[in-house]
Amino acid sequence: MFEAAIGLIIESGIPGATLAAIGERAGYSRGLVTHRYGNKANLLAHVHDVVVADWINRVQQAVGDHSGREALSRIVDALHAFVREEPNEIRAMYLLRFASIDPSAQFRTNVAKAHAAQRRDVQRWIELGKKSGSVHAGIDAALVAELFCSAADGLIYRWLVNPKLPIKALHSLLKCEVVRALSLGHA
């Protein structure tokens, strides 16, 4: 059902990803999808959370025991790999994230939790880098973490709007700028 939901979300948008259509595409009845998830909001939250879990796993494996500039560089590399390897998952996740700004979106809590966890992890890696000396001591870790996450989200948004964007070059530039910014003490 997960793959069916991803496919429908990226082909027909969130309105077109009905429980009936997802069940039909997956080879099941609408009743089974409804029984499993209860409603569309729960299914959409599940899809978002599964993709986020994949993303978190990729980031944690890429970062390993690294911190500071090296950790953030590795996150940028993991993001580029995710775009290349799972473009449909990332498209669906971002469609859900953007839809979550609607006050009536019932899965917005899921998105907010994912954002908070990402920012918290990035902040922690920056703070560890400050302690180890790989990040300038004057860096505001919370502020830079928020900016880093925002830049990554913005890059993905721009790629979703324009798939011909030079995504590899932009990821390389982002990586260079992150390393440079963390070496300076202005943030």
3-class secondary-structure state, position 111? helix
- Rounded-to-integer distance, Cα 144 and Cα 127, Å: 10
pLDDT digits (tens, 9 = 90+) for 88-111: 999 999 999 999 999 888 888 989
- For the cut 80, the answer to whether the pLDDT of residue 29 exceeds it is no
pLDDT digits (tens, 9 = 90+) for 113-154: 999 999 999 999 999 999 999 999 999 999 999 999 999 999
C-beta pairs of 157-164 under 8 Å, 24+ apart in sequence: 157/94, 157/98, 159/83, 160/91, 160/94
- Rounded-to-integer distance, Cα 90 and Cα 161, Å: 13
Q: Which fold has domain 45-183?
A: Tetracycline Repressor; domain 2 (1.10.357)
pLDDT digits (tens, 9 = 90+) for 172-185: 999 999 988 888 76
Q: Which fold has domain 1-38?
A: Arc Repressor Mutant, subunit A (1.10.10)
Same fold, 1-38 and 45-183: no
- Nearest residue to 122 (alpha-carbon basis) of 143, 138, 137, 136: 143
Please calculate the CA angle 56-59-47 and round it to the nearest 5 degrees: 30
Neighbours of 33 (CB within 10 A): 24
- Rounded-to-integer distance, Cα 52 and Cα 90, Å: 9
Domain locations along the chain:
1-38, 45-183
134 — phi, psi (to 5°)? -85, -10
